[in-house]
Amino acid sequence: MFIRTIFPFYSLSGSSSDGWVAFGILLAAVLVAFGVLYFLFFRMKGKCLIQVKEDNIQLVDTGNPLIKIRGFRLRDNADAKFPDGGRVTCLTAVRGSPGFSSGRHYWEVSLQTTKLDLKTSWWIGVTDKHEIPHDERLSPTTKNGFWFLSSCSKQEDTLQFSTEPETFIYVQSKPKRVGVYLDFDNRELSFYNVEEKCLFGSLAAKFTGELFPLFNPGKGDMGTMKILQRSVQDQSINTEPVKKLQKEEQDQSGTTENPEAES
């Protein structure tokens, strides 16, 4: 929209009072124009907002002896003997409920436990598996129906996506809370650092069928992962400028959507 303001001409040789009148008119016009532009800016900005209702995710307890589930908390069983050794595999993975086959969905996972260090071993994402295969040989990648962000066992300041080949993301500090945003219809899965209010990265994928939240407490640390719940009163529409935030964060960090997630 183009705005043009036409001002009357005033001679500088006139009286000082005329000069002040001209200045006052000019200032008023500038303020009006600024107010109009300000309104238009936020009106257009509002169109970038995406409305998302937060979902309450439940853990599906299958009685797996390798993990411990208490309510919405999850961790590995330190007393168990792991067939896969020190590796983190599907043997300790847990599916969440409900599943999703359309729409936009958002949930958060806390990796911080009071009086304990932050978790250093975990997976957070989605899967198309109705039952998690208890097969340590299975490669949990995007090509096999696993889309997730995880800790990196080799470097504490790095996270990684379940792509082939692996995609690594450098972080300045370990995340305390991870937000998961699933846009099923637009085939996109995004991960956010809730505390820092920034985007870790996004995966593009050809989702088919039903998707389920995916969690893995990993191995070797005392911390638990907790799926955060919202009361009915707090489950209001959460307006988040997801698309704009993604673009800004990707431009700043150089992180782009990973084409390897296409499967």
Q: Please report whether residue 2 resides in a domain.
A: no
238: containing domain: 52-261
Q: Output the domain CATH number for residue 119.
A: 2.60.120.920
Q: Judge if 43 and 56 occupy the same domain.
A: no
Residue 43 and residue 258: Cα distance in Å, rounded?
A: 32
C-beta contacts of 246-250 below 8 A and 24+ residues apart: 246/190, 246/199, 246/202, 249/198, 249/199, 250/199, 250/201
Q: What phi, psi does 220 have (nearest 5°)?
A: 90, 0
Kindly state whether residue 154 falls inside one of the protein's structural domains.
yes
* Residue 71, SS3 per DSSP: coil
- What's the structural domain count of the chain? 2
43 and 103 co-located in one domain = no
Same domain, 254 and 208: yes
One domain, residues 111 and 162: yes
Q: What is the largest CA-CA distance in the chain?
A: 95
- Predicted local confidence at residue 206, as pLDDT: 85
pLDDT at 114: 84
Q: Has this prediction a pTM greater than 0.95?
A: no
Instruction: For residue range 213-241, list pLDDT tens digits in order.
Output: 999 999 988 889 999 998 654 544 444 54
pLDDT of 29 higher than 50: yes
109 and 236 assigned to the same domain:
yes
- Same domain (yes/no): 216, 100: yes
**pLDDT computed for residue 68 by the predictor:** 95
What is the distance, to the nearest Å, from the Cα of residue 69 to the centroid of all Cα atoms in its chain? Answer: 24
pLDDT given for residue 17 in this prediction? 59
> Residue range 139-162: average pLDDT?
92
- Indicate whether 1 belongs to any domain: no
Would residue 105 count as lying in a domain? yes
* Per-residue b or e along 222-249, where b marks 16 or more CB atoms closer than 10 Å to that residue's CB: ebbbbbebeeeeeeeeeebebeebbeeb
Are residue 189 and residue 87 in the same domain, yes or no? yes
Residue 5 domain-assigned (yes or no): no
Same domain, 214 and 171: yes
Nearest of 171, 122, 174, 129 to residue 148 by alpha carbon: 122
Is residue 9 one of the residues assigned to a domain?
Answer: no
Same-domain pairing of 192 and 218: yes
What's the pLDDT band for 118 if we cut at 50, 70, 90?
confident
Residues 41, 63, single domain; the answer is no
Q: Is residue 225 part of a domain?
A: yes
Of residues 26 and 212, the one with the higher pLDDT is 212
* Contact of 35 with 51, CB cutoff 8 Å: no
Closest CA to 225 of 125, 90, 102: 125
Residues 139 and 253 in one domain: yes
Nearest to 130 by CA among 89, 107, 109, 101: 101
The CA distances from residue 222 to 72, 104, 113, 258, in Å, are 16, 33, 9, 32
The reply to whether 4 falls in a domain is no
Same domain, 81 and 154: yes
Question: In 3D, which of 197, 188, 171 has the Cα closest to residue 253?
Answer: 171
Given a contact cutoff of 8 angstroms between Cβ atoms, the answer to whether 201 and 191 are in contact is yes
Residue 11 pLDDT > 50, yes or no?
A: no
